[in-house]
Amino acid sequence: MTAPLLEVRNLRVEFPTRRGTLVAVDDLSFEIAPGEVLGVVGESGAGKSLTGMAIIGLLEPPGRIASGQILLEGERIDNLPPDAMRRIRGKRIGAIFQDPLTSLNPLFTIGEQLIETLQVHLELDHKQARSRAIELLAEVGIPAPAARIDNYPHHFSGGMRQRVVIALALCAHPRLIVADEPTTALDVSIQAQIIDLLKKVARENGAAVMLITHDMGVIAETADRVAVMYAGRLAEIGPVKDVIHAPRHPYTSGLMSSIPKLGEQRESLAQIDGAMPRLTAIPPGCAFNPRCPKRFDRCMTERPSPMPAGANHAACWLYAS
Amino acid sequence: MLAFVLRRVAQAVLVMLTVGLIAFSLFTFVGDPVLFMLGQDATPEDRVRVTKLLGLDQPFYVQYANFVGRALQGDFGLSLRQVRPVSKLFVERLPATLELSFAAAFLALAAGIPMGVYTALRRNSWLAQVFLTVSLIGVSLPTFLIGILLILVFAVVLGWLPSFGRGDTIAIGWWTTGLLTASGLKSLILPAITLGLFQMTLIMRLVRSEMLEVLRTDYIKFARARGLSDRSVHFRHALKNTLVPVITIAGLQLGAIIAFAIITETVFQWPGMGLLFIQSVTVADIPVMAAYLCLIALFFVVINLVVDLLYYAVDPRLRVDRAAAAH
């Protein structure tokens, strides 16, 4: 086992509001090994994106890391001063956001945005940065990059813009790429291309990827390991094939059986009854207990931590030894 | 691009013709000019003769065409009160108004934009709160009151600055400027503040709200995620996007500043076109009023045209170039 590239330990993200403090991410721990693709899945509001933003240090106030640690290559980064964190962003951790249509500044050419990013992190003069930018565009599959570099974002389609965004994230060869729903805003036909590209560039650059999505198909195709989040907590984590084919946590099982399979005839889709609790109304004990078909007394009072369950770790009392 | 400009110019011409029509109709609404010139005791023959002489027997549209034709050459007839060509009067008064207006606009932009940016970036600092409070006063107090208060404080109580007039001026060709003499500059300060204060607060509030809007966008978040410095994120990426709508408003406000200089010029007895206009209104000096109306409309139209073109230059999304077709 190599040393982890990224370690998140007992992360807790809070939003102080007038009506009390909301705990959006609660006691979350996981690791990402160098070069590994970790998929993070969960429903909207499960805290996946906030975890990503916490890692790159861009939680929007009043959201804040209340406790826990984030370590990049063994070094704490959650408590760095803003300027030191800024030098890590883009250089050691790249980020890709959901909507490529709004991720690029419409008033600057993609070349200007690439060159600026390159020059912030690397010692390049303008000419070197420009030729590097053209290489990057070629790497992410933009045709005729030397001609397109002076185009504005609106000259590109959504898929092409997401390629530019990936090129921007790759500028300084980051060791980790946090990709927050990178394909959600794209056409289905383009999604596969972008996922392939992301896998390819991560492999070629030796970068690990934290892939945040609610699309199990993307996870199944891309990830090495999967973390399933529920109501700001980790429900289950494990190798991708084990989580998909042998889910241990009742929530993961429900999630997997709600995905319709090809060739299957059924009247209605399988679903988990109820809804994820609002952050203001998380029940005591296991957050999933009101919807869990297998709950018992202990689930109602005591909160489970992730514990070994088969090849996975699941936060479920069913696996208490 | 050319088609765009041509279309805008055509629209501008249409607007000017309409305003010209309104200005022209002023003459007919404010009484019979023949009666006005000959008095009540004139014989019918005299009246017919003068009517012919003035071309008033011709159909309405011919008269209007003549009016437009003369206006294009800058000929708006004689001022009824001063019995001098209106164009001459305007040439004398124009520099005073333009210098005042541009000084006010410069003040509004030079102070309003930085204050807006500051209040957006340091939302909770006490200075930002002070700016916002002061701006509230700026938008809610009427111009003449601000002028009178400024005169009271700086001219009457402190005695630092003159309370009226333009000070000494220097003639450069037909243009007289007060910008090159100490007394001219001192005289400019209070009227320029009075005229510019409202616009400044408007621009400050506009910049602030636009900037806050822009700072919430994904591309700003992504710019931060790329590790760009705060300076670059704020002043390169955010400010440029903020200024796109601000350009339009600031341009339109410049027209408003020139037009609303009337009040400030009256308060400070500033010898500009606005003061001339007010004096003309009190004596029903129709040619001056008509010419003023046309000139202000011309300013608005030209400024709008320039703003449109500027917008075009700043925002690449409006430039449709066929070379780069989207995939």
Residue B323 pLDDT class (50, 70, 90 cuts): very low
pLDDT of residue A112: 92
Is A121 an 8 Å CB contact of chain B?
yes
- At residue B320 the predicted structure's pLDDT band, cuts being 50, 70 and 90, is low
Domains of chain B by start residue, with CATH: 95-318 (1.10.3720.10)
Asked whether residue A40 carries a pLDDT value surpassing 90, the answer given is yes
Inter-chain CB proximity B227 and A165 less than 8 Å: no
Query: Would the CB atoms of A107 and B222 count as touching at under 8 Å?
Result: no
Q: Domains in chain A, ordered, with CATH?
A: 6-223 (3.40.50.300), 244-260+270-321 (no CATH)
Smallest CA-to-CA distance from B272 within B81, B84, B99 is with B99
Question: What does the block give as tokens for A3?
Answer: 């040393």
SS3 A138: helix
**Residue B51: per-residue pLDDT:** 78
Interface test with A, best of B222, B229, B235, B315 (most A CBs within 10 A): B222
Here the ipTM equals 0.84
Asked whether residue B86 carries a pLDDT value surpassing 90, the answer given is: no
Please answer yes or no on whether A107 and B327 come within 8 Å at the CB atom: no
A-contacting residues in B 217-236 (Cβ below 8 Å): 217-230, 232, 236
Q: How far is B257 from chain A (nearest CA, A)?
A: 29
Whether the CB of A97 is below 8 Å from some CB of chain B: the reply is yes
Instruction: Identify all chain B residues contacting A86, using CB atoms and an 8 Å cutoff.
Output: 224, 227-230
| Cβ within 8 Å, pair A90-B225 | yes
Query: Residues of A with CB below 8 A from B236's CB?
Result: 116
Q: How far is CA A102 from CA A27, A187, B318, B322, in A?
A: 32, 16, 17, 23
The residues, ordered by sequence, that sit 6+ positions from A21 with a Cβ below 8 Å of its Cβ are A14, A15
Q: How confident is the model at residue B60 (pLDDT cuts 50, 70, 90)?
A: confident
CB–CB of B38/B46 below 8 Å? yes
* Cβ within 8 Å, pair B226-A88: no
Phi, psi for B117 (deg, rounded to 5):
-65, -45
For the ranges A185-194, B54-63, B125-134, B234-243, the lowest mean pLDDT is seen at B54-63
pLDDT class of B31 with cuts at 50, 70, 90: low
Banded pLDDT at A131 (limits 50, 70, 90): very high
Surface of B (239-258) touching A: CB under 8 A:
240-241, 244
Average predicted confidence (pLDDT) for chain B: 83
CB A81 within 8 A of CB A163: no
Q: Dump the DSSP string for A262-286.
A: TT---SS----SS-PPPGGGPPSS-
Instruction: Please list every residue in chain A whose beta carbon sits closer than 8 Å to the beta carbon of residue B123.
Output: none
Q: Is the dihedral of CA A65, A173, A203, A154 positive or negative?
A: positive
3-class SS letters over chain B: CHHHHHHHHHHHHHHHHHHHHHHHHHHHHCCCHHHHHHCCCCCHHHHHHHHHHCCCCCCHHHHHHHHHHHHHCCCCCECCCCCCEHHHHHHHHHHHHHHHHHHHHHHHHHHHHHHHHHHHHCCCCHHHHHHHHHHHHHHHCCHHHHHHHHHHHHHHHCCCCCCCCCCCCEEECCEEECCCCHHHHHHHHHHHHHHHHHHHHHHHHHHHHHHHHHHCCHHHHHHHHCCCCHHHHHHHHHHHHHHHHHHHHHHHHHHHHHHHHHHHHHHHCCCCHHHHHHHHHHCCCHHHHHHHHHHHHHHHHHHHHHHHHHHHHHCHHHCCCCCCCCC
Query: Which one of A17-21, A221-225, B248-252 scores highest in mean pLDDT?
Result: A221-225
Residues of A in contact with B326 (CB under 8 A): 154-157
B324 touching chain A per CB within 8 A = yes
Determine the pLDDT at residue B324. 42
Contact B317 A152 (CB under 8 A): yes
pLDDT per residue over A42-97, tens digit each?
888 888 889 999 999 888 888 889 899 999 988 888 888 888 888 888 889 999 98
Distance from CA of B201 to the nearest CA of A (A): 26
Is residue B142 scored above 80 in pLDDT? yes
Q: What percentage of chain B has pLDDT greater than the value 70?
A: 95
How far away is chain B from the Cα of A321, in angstroms, using its nearest Cα?
43
CB contact under 8 A, A169 and B315: no
Position B147 pLDDT exceeds 50? yes
Residues A247-295: tens digit of each pLDDT: 888 888 888 888 777 777 777 777 787 788 888 888 888 888 888 888 8
